[in-house]
Chains A and B, each alone.
Chain A
Amino acid sequence: MDAVNIKDLVFSYDEQHDTIKGISFVIPKGSYTTIIGHNGSGKSTIAKLMIGLLEAKSGTIEILGQKLDESTVYSIRDHVGIVFQNPDNQFIGSTVADDIAFGLENHCVPQEKMQAIIEESAAKVNMINYLDSEPTKLSGGQKQRVAIAGILAIEPEIIIFDESTSMLDPQGKKSINEQIKKLHEKKNVTIISITHDMEEVAQSEHVIVLKDGKVAMSGKPMEIFDKEEALHEMKLDIPFALKFSKELKKEGIFDKNECTLEGVVEALCQLKQMN
């Protein structure tokens, strides 16, 4: 069963210009997929369509084998969590703890278990000292962490991150990315991450590239990065590790490319030992 199966999806905000112009893709259950594309390519629109916040003009969306429509949208949302780019519009509770509790209540988590879950998920995003704070009084990055804690608490089967680390400082981003990875590896949660961070793309298993409301490419990170020119045309870039790797290849040191820093270091160590 696939986590997401989208067929011939078309969507328009204004009935005149289609923002999503016939998109089809499959995201396997338990995979870590990144969706990339230039600003305005339709990434966030797709995310909103996947949780039924927007309604498609035509085409179908299946989530965990269930066709998304008016009658299934609420049961599907029980399984899909989303963290948006701008956390300001996502708060309901008057304190951080209340806000995390709200989601748990909606998922019928028994009262006696809640406190432990709230504390655990707040600790994961480094906000344990802010449980009694008012969400509106927090900084942009702190708000984003709370929104992420809210989702971590529920542990849905699919989590969509819509550029949700964009307001975080690098350390915060790193620790959130580690949390995402852990969820994916330990709990087999399907991760769909909309991102501009090519280092994150290199770490993912599957990449979907959107361009002007269509799927331009999809595949493993290295398959995508191989088409560097096409990426540049789409206003995208390749990660530093791959740029460095390509320089080493030009110099005749590497015979194949690596797209992560870990990969580059490992390959260099082998060369050093061989010589």
Chain B
Amino acid sequence: MSIKTNELTHIYNPGTPFEKLALNGITLNIPKGKVTAIIGQTGSGKSTFVQHLNALLVPTSGSVDIENYHIQPGTKIKDIKELRKKVGLVFQFPEYQLFEETIEKDIAFGPKNFGTSEEEAVALAKKVLPIVGLDDRYLQRSPFDLSGGQKRRVAIAGILVLEPNILVLDEPTAGLDPQGAQEMMTLFMDLNKKQGKTVLLVSHDMEHVKDYCDHVIVFDQGKVKIESSVKEFFQHPEWMENIGINPPAIIRLKKMLNEKGFCIPDDVLEMDTLVKIVKEQVKTYE
């Protein structure tokens, strides 16, 4: 089932001097089994939005429908506890949330919290670790001895172990080395393609959005400014400029070339096509 929001509005600290309208009437339908990118400038409401998807935040007005759960103002967490198993939310820098003495314990914490027996939870932890690219030897190690990228894998394993149908990832590759980032994206793509998980990716990395996502939702000052397929989105450099997004390198290169008298069509988004076109245009006068 898809994720639907209807006129979702969230106000932080209502009625106080700190009152802040963070989401202003968001109506969206996020398709099941796809990879959807959520982008926008810092403070545009992206993080507030994703926290509604597993009811870490409850709407001030409007509603959210996910799986068989309906969340509206006043919804009590105890009525939707199972939702947190269905929607795995991975925060920015999730490694800061690791706390147990061993990696095994850290991963097993989630299932135990949902009533799985100790033994079973440990078995689940063992099963999930290879999915994030770490082997058995890590189980008894302290998560704090790992590098940043490895810690993040453990933190993500702690979410995957609950077998969520929907994965919401807030900047999952921030701070990783290029290969680490690519491996992480490959992991999410596998989870999407092979296990059919719906993936929502909050990202500032337009290269990732271009290469891995199906849909784009752009947030701007608490509202949805653009909803589009990825292919369509990247053919409109002017949309990106309007919302203060630095386009992928290939699109910036195209723009710079077109300003210097080259003529490169908007729908060229791949390097090999661009190489061919550029080659023809520099040799035109030979």
Stretch at the interface among B122-130, B143-151, B154-162, B227-235: B143-151
In the complex, whether A93 has a CB less than 8 A from a CB of chain B is no
CA distance A272 to B272 in the complex (A): 19
Q: Does B253 contact A (CB under 8 A)?
A: yes
Q: Which of A40, A166, A268 makes the CB contact (< 8 A) with B147?
A: A40
B245 partner, pick from A168, A169, A271, beta carbons under 8 A: A169
B140 contacts the other chain (CB 8 A) = no
Question: With an 8 A cutoff between CB atoms, is A78 at the interface?
Answer: no
CB distance from B164 to the nearest CB of A (A): 23
A111 contacts B by Cβ under 8 Å: no
Cβ-based interface call for A135 (8 A): no
**Contacts A85-B175, A196-B177, A264-B253: A40 and B92 contacting too (C-beta < 8 A)?**
no
> Are B180 and A244 in contact, with the CB atoms below 8 A?
no
Q: Do B179 and A237 have beta carbons less than 8 Å apart?
A: yes
Residues of B within 8 A of A168 (CB): 42, 204
- Known contacts A86-B93, A163-B175, A236-B179: A171-B282 contact under CB 8 Å: no
Residues of chain B with a CB closer than 8 A to A261's CB: 249, 252-253, 256
Known contacts A39-B148, A168-B42, A265-B257; is-contact A253 B176 (Cβ 8 Å): no
Tell me the nearest residue of chain B to A140, going by C-beta: B92
Interface size band for A: 35 or more
Looking at the complex, which one of B149, B150, B175, B275 makes contact with A247 (CB distance below 8 Å)?
A: B275
Cα distance A275–B278 when bound, in Å? 13
Distance in angstroms from A13 CB to nearest chain B CB is: 9
A239 to chain B, nearest CB (A): 7
A139 touches which one: B42, B262, B272, B284 (CB < 8 A)?
B42
Chain B residues positioned under 8 Å from A141 (CB to CB): 41-43
A137 to B271, CA, bound (A): 42
Contacts A140-B42, A167-B92, A265-B260 supplied; 15 other A-B pairs, CB < 8 Å: A39-B149, A40-B147, A166-B174, A168-B204, A169-B245, A170-B245, A172-B42, A199-B249, A236-B179, A243-B271, A248-B279, A265-B253, A265-B256, A275-B282, A275-B283
- Please name 21 pairs of A and B residues whose Cβ atoms are closer than 8 Å in the assembled complex, sorted by A: A40-B146, A86-B93, A86-B96, A167-B92, A169-B41, A169-B42, A170-B245, A171-B244, A171-B245, A196-B177, A235-B177, A235-B180, A236-B179, A237-B179, A241-B249, A244-B271, A251-B279, A253-B282, A269-B261, A272-B260, A272-B285
Binding site for A on B (CB under 8 A): 18, 40-43, 47, 92-93, 96, 146-150, 171, 174-181, 204, 206-207, 244-246, 248-250, 252-253, 256-257, 260-262, 271-272, 274-275, 278-279, 281-286
Q: Which residues of A contact B (CB under 8 A)?
A: 37-40, 85-86, 134, 137-142, 163, 166-174, 196, 198-199, 232, 235-237, 239-241, 243-244, 247-248, 251, 253, 261-262, 264-265, 268-269, 271-272, 275
